[in-house]
Amino acid sequence: MDDKFLKPYNPQETESKIYKLWEEGGFFKPKGAGEAFSIILPPPNVTGTLHMGHAAMLAIEDILVRYNRMKGKKTLWLPGTDHAAIATQSKIEEILYKKEKKTRHDLGREEFLKRVEQFAKESHDTIVNQIKKMGASIDWSRETYTLDEKRSLAVKTAFKRMYDNGLIYRGNRIVNWDPKMQSNVSDDEIERKEEKSPFYYLKYGPFEIGTARPETKFGDKYVVMHPDDKRYKKYEHGQKLDLEWINGPITATVIKDEAVDMKFGTGVMTITPWHDATDFEIAKRHNLDTEQIIDFNGKLLPITKEFAGIHIKKARSMIVEKLKEKGLVTKINENYTLNLATNYRGGGVIEPQIKEQWFVDVNKKFKLKNSKINGIKNGDETSLKEIMRKTVESGQIEIIPKHFDKTYFHWIDKLNDWNISRQIWYGHRIPVWNKDKEVYVGVDAPEDDGWTQDPDTLDTWFSSGLWTFSTLGWPEDTDDMKNFHPTSVLETGHDILFFWVARMILMSGYLLGDVPFKKVYLHGMVLNAKGKKMSKSSGDIIDPLDMTEKYGADAARLSLIVGAPPGNDISLSEDKIRGYKNFSNKIWNIARFVLSNVDEKNIKEKPKLSALDKEWIKNLNNITKTVSDNIDGYRPDFAADEIYHWVWHNFADIYIEEVKLVLQNGSDVDKKSAKWTLYTILTTCLKLLHPFAPFITEEIWQSLPKKDSETLIVASWPQ
């Protein structure tokens, strides 16, 4: 027996050594010609460090990858990082302002981007190190970045194809403008926050209207009511009314529209089409005038007269004062709660604005070439929405757990065109050039002079949408594409089902006529011991690096797997991780016991087995099947729990205790049988445990006297 077993297991000493052994052995690269199994790593944002959610993701994916590799499949797990346009840029802007009191405009586009790149580089190195610490058996030779050259080519190619097909268009529409970020964001990037705000009732000629935002009301010259509202029967659509308003007399026009809720307030409202999506739709339907009241910095425009140049935050109370003086305020509800729209990255308050932007048309019909999508034949007319729906509806893509497909369909049903242009600097520049009235869209800049490129960048999810195939070399026709696409499974958090999963299905469906993956495994959020979000302010953040250092990566991984069924949030405490550290110790001591009682001559060939040992080999086969079935069924949580219990409470607590008696008092035949069986159960258990606890199992494996593979990582999975 190796002397190392005389000391307790030391993960710190072992883990980096073992990881090096695997990496240098080239075991992370796909091997063989068999069936393929592929996972593309959801690329972590280069905004800092990994958290426990990432650790859980890595653990689940590594389990699937190691299991399939041991089963002999040609297994690829491909790493990468995400430039995370808005998230990264706002992070750098924050740091820049804190440290140097400068904005990005003080630095200029070029210098600012240098700073971002530098930060992204450092962040990348930290992240790669963390991924390795978790034991991820991922193929670093294929590492990618969403903003690198090949991915840029993919992005530009995709944009051009969609533009040429009429699926990308430029439109003057109402968008979600974030004055803080100085960019617009898509509907999905809006996070609504409840906020107490007074609600004002104002006299508008013969009507009473309500508003939480009096500062937008200057230009309101349309008064809208439901066509069926009997209270306002005497007013006709198009009727003009002269009335006194904030800055003097105006002429208002009556509009009848079904968008008005008769039950809300007085059933009458005025509209501000430039700064409200609903109002914009009403104005569009009736072809009404629109006028901007607030500029892109959040300051009032000259239409507001004496308030011009004042920021809306300051202006509101001043405007209410003026309204009061003029006797236009009828009442104020101080207990009103409104759902404030904010940017989910950076938290800026959204001010809807009409702006010219790029959109992906999700409803437009087009002919799908080379379709491998169930229910859509080659050359059939379809739409992006239909592709997103059919792939999941037909079961071609299976979402695990199942109930998320309802959420997914629900989202598709209300989906509007996807706004893909951003006014930020960090990201893929839109591949569109303008010269006078001419527009050029292409992968490369036009050759002749006088063209200027669109200053905007693309939504980060546009490039993420291509991720399963841009990482494999698309638009080139590579071997990796042939071998590994569609990928076997996408494993990610349920919080990015819309942002990412849906966009990948859209992009892959359109560009390849195929699905990007066969299964979507959604994991839950990692919460604190009380089931709440971990946060800096409550000081309960559990850091993956701290935990691997304190308890070992194997313990950290197990704590994130057991009790975490797909889709369920998991509450994590340090106690739980400590519990699995104890399990590591148990495994170590089982190995010590077995190896101190068994030597090479006992295991050369299979002896005649005692009745007891036959029974235990049968038990071993049962647990093997249970573990395999649960991993195959995408229940790694069950698989881990089952093997954990079996090893500890059956193998160790029962079998080893019985064997001790045999080794003391048994016949020679029974002793031989017991030694062989002990060793067989140990080696099989190391294999079964390997996907979950790769480091300690490999470390023990390295000291085994007889084995069917030099390294456990590529040993064959037991049948």
Peptide bond into 42 cis (omega under 30): no
Q: Which is nearer to RNA, 105 or 414 (CB)?
A: 414
If binding is defined by CB under 7 A, does position 579 make contact with RNA? Answer: yes
State which amino acid sits at residue 395. G
Q: Per-residue DSSP letters for 550-581?
A: HH-HHHHHHHHHTT--TT--EE--HHHHHHHH
Q: What crossing angle do the helices spanning 694-701 and 574-597 adopt, rounded to 10°?
A: 10
SS3 688: helix
Pick between residue 155 and residue 400 the one whose CB is nearest to RNA: 400
Q: Which residue type sits at 319?
A: I
Nearer to RNA, 605 or 657 (CB): 657
Report the site for RNA in 492-531 (rule: CB under 7 A): 495, 498, 529-531
Nearer to RNA, 253 or 278 (CB): 278
Residue 204 backbone dihedrals phi, psi, to 5 degrees: -125, 90
CB of 548 to RNA, least distance (A): 15
Region from 18-26, 314-322, 401-409, 606-614 binding RNA, contact rule CB under 7 A: 401-409
**Interaction of residue 683 with RNA, rule CB under 7 A:** no
Between residues 45 and 144, which has the closer beta carbon with respect to RNA?
45
**Binding to RNA by residue 649, rule CB under 7 A?**
yes
Q: How far is the CB of 662 from RNA (least distance, A)?
A: 12
Mask: binding to RNA, 54-93, rule CB under 7 A, as x and -? ----------------------------------------
**Token digits of residue 659:** 């064997």
**Residue 194 backbone phi and psi in degrees, to 5:** -75, 135
User: How does strand 36-40 pair with strand 74-78?
Assistant: parallel
Q: Which of 112, 307, 593, 679 binds RNA (CB under 7 A)?
A: 593
Task: Please tell me whether residue 106 binds RNA under the rule CB under 7 A.
Answer: no
Report the nearest approach of RNA to the CB of residue 632 (Å): 11
* Residue from 578, 579, 561 nearest 570 by CA: 561
Q: Output the six-digit token pair for 323.
A: 């309204």
Rounded CA-CA distance 612/634 in Å is 33
| Interface with RNA, residue 414, by CB under 7 A | yes
Among 584, 602, 673, 677, binds RNA (CB under 7 A): 584
Select the residue interacting with RNA from 247, 253, 423, 585 (CB under 7 A): 585
Q: Is 403 in the site for RNA (CB under 7 A)?
A: yes
Q: Does 173 interact with RNA (rule: CB under 7 A)?
A: no
If the CB atoms of residues 262 and 303 are measured against RNA, the closer one turns out to be 262
- From residue 112 to residue 151, the character string flagging contacts with RNA as x (rule: CB under 7 A) and all else as - is ----------------------------------------
Please compute, for residue 345, the number of CA atoms within 13 A of its CA located in the half-sphere on the CB side: 26
CB of 426 to RNA, least distance (A): 23
Considering only 652, 666, 703, 714, the residue that binds RNA (CB under 7 A) is: 652
CB of 281 to RNA, least distance (A): 7
List the alpha helices (DSSP H) in 477-527.
479-484, 503-512
Under a CB-based contact definition with an 8 Å cutoff, are residues 260 and 201 in contact? no
CA 338 vs CA 285, 287, 333: distances in Å: 26, 29, 12
In the window 317-356, what residues touch RNA (CB under 7 A)? 338-339
Q: What angle do CA 499, 500, 503 make, to 5 degrees?
A: 95
- Residue 716 found at the interface with RNA (CB under 7 A): no
Closest by Cα among 419, 428, 503 to 468: 503
Q: Is the dihedral of CA 427, 433, 439, 441 positive or negative?
A: negative
Token pair of 223 as six digits: 């008064």
Query: Judged by CB under 7 A, which of 250, 259, 329, 349 binds RNA?
Result: 259
| Residue 10 Cβ vs RNA, minimum distance, rounded to whole Å | 9
CA–CA gap between residue 470 and residue 478 (Å, rounded): 11
Residues 353-392 that bind RNA (CB under 7 A): none
Does 451 engage in binding with RNA (CB under 7 A)? no
Smaller CB separation from RNA, 406 or 706: 406
Number of residues that bind RNA (CB under 7 A): 71
Which CB, 87 or 138, lies closer to RNA?
Answer: 87
Q: State the DSSP code for 287.
A: T
* Residues, the chain: 719
Residue ranges in 260-279 that form contacts with RNA under rule CB under 7 A: 260-265, 267-271, 276-278
Report which of 709, 599, 188, 617 is spatially closest to residue 697, judged by C-alpha positions: 709
Q: Tell me how far, at minimum, the Cβ of 351 lies from RNA, in Å.
A: 13
Under the criterion CB under 7 A, does residue 702 sit at the interface with RNA?
A: no
In this complex, which beta carbon is closest to RNA, that of residue 35 or of residue 191?
Answer: 191
SS3 4: helix
Q: Residue 99, exposed/middle/buried by CB under 10 A (0-12, 13-18, 19+)?
A: exposed
Contact indicator for 300, 215 with CB cutoff of 8 Å: yes
**Residues 701-704: contacts with CB within 8 Å, 24+ apart?**
702/21, 703/1, 703/2, 703/4, 703/5, 703/591, 703/595, 704/595
Site residues (CB under 7 A) for RNA, limited to 178-217: 187-188, 190-192, 209-213
* Binding window for RNA (CB under 7 A); candidates: 20-28, 172-180, 647-655, 708-716: 647-655
Of 96 and 252, nearer to RNA (C-beta) is 252
Min CB(583)–RNA separation in Å:
8
Rounded to the nearest 5°, which phi and psi values hold at 625?
A: -65, -45
- Within 292-311, the residues that bind RNA by CB under 7 A are none
Query: Which residue, 118 or 621, has its beta carbon nearer to RNA?
Result: 621
Q: Which of 54, 73, 586, 687 binds RNA (CB under 7 A)?
A: 586
